[in-house]
């Protein structure tokens, strides 16, 4: 391999024989080296393979300021998440996760307490990602001997959600807040306590996640079966009124009118959920 960039003494960017960029880490792998030199493979301890040149470029700049252990932490968390979820994550998570964890460790080391205001909601709404994030805390501790507080698991879980949905952190936070508000509307109107392990609750939660992501990405469903919509409104009048309250919330807080197609789906999910809870 040929070196194309020295990130620091322990991390370099190199081209392999297929002219693919690779990030290589190892003690002294970049020491007294310059672009164009051949990589001393005996010093390479880790090789990181990313497809996006944009991500590689930004990651190089970030890693230049950090110990190589942070890349190893990130790589192990991503590998764990992909194995647990059975899918590939957006490569941007390497950037956001390395940055977040390095900042979290610095904050913790300086004795600054961190409380995630959405910790309970994240734990409930994204249980798979939260479980992986708890394992991420173990990975951090195993590599750099720092035990981050459990609230950091909620933040890490959101990074995993972002990578699954190809979204930005701001939108994921807004999604979580909106879901909580919608659940409060349904809970208040019907005076029920949700069985969070029930099939219909989990199904409703899943629908709300995708509804909220469509809302914040301006891709709400527009097609409309007028006859079917009228049947739903007449047959499930109470549930439709609940959907209308949700629509009023969305219009008031986000300035978006929910199309009738989305209203129908909300109504049907509310019907199934409330029938199950009665």
Q: Where are the alpha helices (DSSP H) in 17-150?
A: 53-63, 69-85, 92-109, 119-125, 127-144
* CATH code of the domain containing 73: 1.10.1790.10
Same-domain check for residues 43 and 2: yes
* Greatest Cα pair distance in the chain: 77
- pLDDT tens-place string over residues 245-261: 999 999 999 999 999 98
Q: Please answer whether residues 48 and 42 qualify as being in contact, where contact means their C-beta atoms are separated by less than 8 angstroms.
A: no
Share of the chain above pLDDT 70, in %: 98
Tens-digit pLDDT profile for residues 50-69: 777 788 888 888 887 888 88
Determine, yes or no, domain membership for 172.
no
| 25 beta partners | 11, 46
Give the domain CATH number at 14.
2.30.24.10
Residue carrying the six token digits 């805390």: 137
Q: How far apart (Å, rounded) are the C-alpha atoms in residues 180 and 253?
A: 14
CA angle 83, 88, 91 (to 5 degrees): 120
DSSP 213-228: HHHHTT-------HHH
- So what's the pLDDT on residue 140? 96
pTM greater than the 0.85 cutoff = no
pLDDT tens digits for range 163-197: 888 767 777 888 899 999 999 999 999 998 888 88
Q: How far apart are CA 250 and CA 182, in angstroms?
A: 9
The residue segments making up the domain with residue 259 are 178-277
Number of domains comprising the chain: 3
3-class SS at 6? strand
Task: Tell me which of 165, 191, 212 is where a domain ends.
Answer: 165
Residues 146, 186 share a domain: no
């Amino acid at each position: 391999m040929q070196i194309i960039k020295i990130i620091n003494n322990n991390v370099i960017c190199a081209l392999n024989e297929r002219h693919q960029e690779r990030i290589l880490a190892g003690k002294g792998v970049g020491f007294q080296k310059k672009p164009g030199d051949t990589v001393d493979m005996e010093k390479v301890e880790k090789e990181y393979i990313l497809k996006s040149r944009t991500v590689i470029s930004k990651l190089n700049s970030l890693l230049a300021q950090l110990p190589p252990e942070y890349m190893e932490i990130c790589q192990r968390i991503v590998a764990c998440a992909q194995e647990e979820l059975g899918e590939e994550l957006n490569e941007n998570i390497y950037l956001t996760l390395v940055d977040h964890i390095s900042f979290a460790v610095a904050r913790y080391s300086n004795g600054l307490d961190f409380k995630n205001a959405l910790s309970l909601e994240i734990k409930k709404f994204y249980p798979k990602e939260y479980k992986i994030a708890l394992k991420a805390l173990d990975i951090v501790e195993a590599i750099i001997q720092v035990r981050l507080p459990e609230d950091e698991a909620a933040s890490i879980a959101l990074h995993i959600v972002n990578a699954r949905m190809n979204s930005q952190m701001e939108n994921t936070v807004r999604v979580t807040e909106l879901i909580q508000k919608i659940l409060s509307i349904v809970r208040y109107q019907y005076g029920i306590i949700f069985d969070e392990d029930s099939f219909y609750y989990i199904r409703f939660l899943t629908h709300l996640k995708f509804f909220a992501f469509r809302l914040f990405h301006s891709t709400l469903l527009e097609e409309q079966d007028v006859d079917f919509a009228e049947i739903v409104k007449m047959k499930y009048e109470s549930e439709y009124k609940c959907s209308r309250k949700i629509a009023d919330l969305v219009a008031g807080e986000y300035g978006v009118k929910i199309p009738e197609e989305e209203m129908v789906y909300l109504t049907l999910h509310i019907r199934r959920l409330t029938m199950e809870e009665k």
